Amino acid sequence: MLGQDLVPYLRAKGYEVFPTSSDTMSLLETADSMRDKLEPFQPEVIIHPAAYTNVDGAEREPDLAMAVNKDGTRNLALAAKELGAILVYVSTDFVFDGLKGEPYLPTDRPNPINTYGLSKYYGELMVSELLEEYYIVRTSWLYGIRRNNFVQWVLDQAHAGSEVKAVTDWVGSPTWTGNLCVTIETLMNSGAYGTYHGADQGEISRYDQCRAMCQAAGLAEAHIRPVLSSELNMAANRPHYSVLACPDLSVSSWETGFQAYLAQYREKSPAR
């Protein structure tokens, strides 16, 4: 989802971009294999947004989640080191346990409470321990026009008049891929290596997010039903509060990002 927005965004900015896909390179490959496939491009920067992202699936397939998010990231970091390339690794708010009660800073200690978050945190450690020239960019509640995601699903359900169970006790920062593209470009040219948070600002519960999105889109809210996360019987625990503070970056509000996404959504589905 993010990669498919990054490619046209960076090309429009004048960068020479070589996209890969699961058909051309897998995170389950060895470091040598990755290096051999990347070497012909002579990359200056390697952006790594790929991951095993099924949070509940990671509880059922922990070995696969670790193989992709930890070992795959390690191998890509090794390949980047051999090629002399800067690595940009996209991570997640799920590296935190949600107990802080106020926005997390990039310097706060991670404490993941599910396998997905743990696998992504291990990926962060692989990058920071193996490389000197890297950017770790944690983001949260990411959505975009290129793939199915929570925001698109809610709007589609609203158009269909179908019920949406929306959690009241998960609070975070919805982030539009378009804004994250800007953040990544800014960081990769900064020379200030390290760990950052790249999320749209503002905090909101999933339930209130659903209501706000429907209001902005001119859709009815009657189908949105508030529930507690404990009612959903999900395999993985989620942090109840995972808002990310972005002290080192200029980022827009989640409402502004959603308006930009909504314009894309309406262009993609004119009847809506």
For residue 40, give every residue at least 6 positions away whose Cβ sits within 8 Å of its Cβ, in sequence order, or none: none
Q: How far apart are CA 264 and CA 258, in angstroms?
A: 10
The tokens for 210 are 């659903």
pLDDT at res. 267: 87
Digit-coded pLDDT (tens) for 57-81:
999 999 999 999 999 999 999 999 9
State yes or no: is 15 an active-site residue: no
pLDDT at residue 272 greater than cutoff 80: no
Per-residue pLDDT band for 251 (boundaries 50, 70, 90) equals confident
Burial-class residue 37 by CB neighbours within 10 Å (0-12, 13-18, 19+). Answer: middle
pLDDT at residue 270 greater than cutoff 80: no
Nearest residue to 92 (alpha-carbon basis) of 209, 254, 250, 244: 244
CA terminus-to-terminus distance, the chain: 22
Nearest residue to 113 (alpha-carbon basis) of 25, 15, 240: 240
Tell me the β-bridge partners of 196: 137
pLDDT at res. 222: 85
Digit-coded pLDDT (tens) for 81-122:
999 999 999 999 999 999 999 999 999 999 999 999 999 999
Q: What is the pTM of this model?
A: 0.95
Calculate mean pLDDT across residues 208-219. Answer: 94
H or E element in which residue 59 lies: helix 55-60
Digit-coded pLDDT (tens) for 135-167:
999 999 999 999 889 999 999 999 898 999 999
Digit-coded pLDDT (tens) for 19-33:
998 889 999 999 999
- pLDDT cut 90: percent of the chain above it: 91
Number of helices (H) and strands (E) in the chain: give both, helices first: 10, 10
Whole-number average pLDDT of the chain: 95
Active-site option among 9, 89, 116, 261 = 116
pLDDT at res. 271: 61
| Cβ contact 265:152 at 8 Å | yes
pLDDT at res. 148: 85
Measured at the CA of 178, the angle between CA 83 and CA 2, to 5 degrees, comes to 50
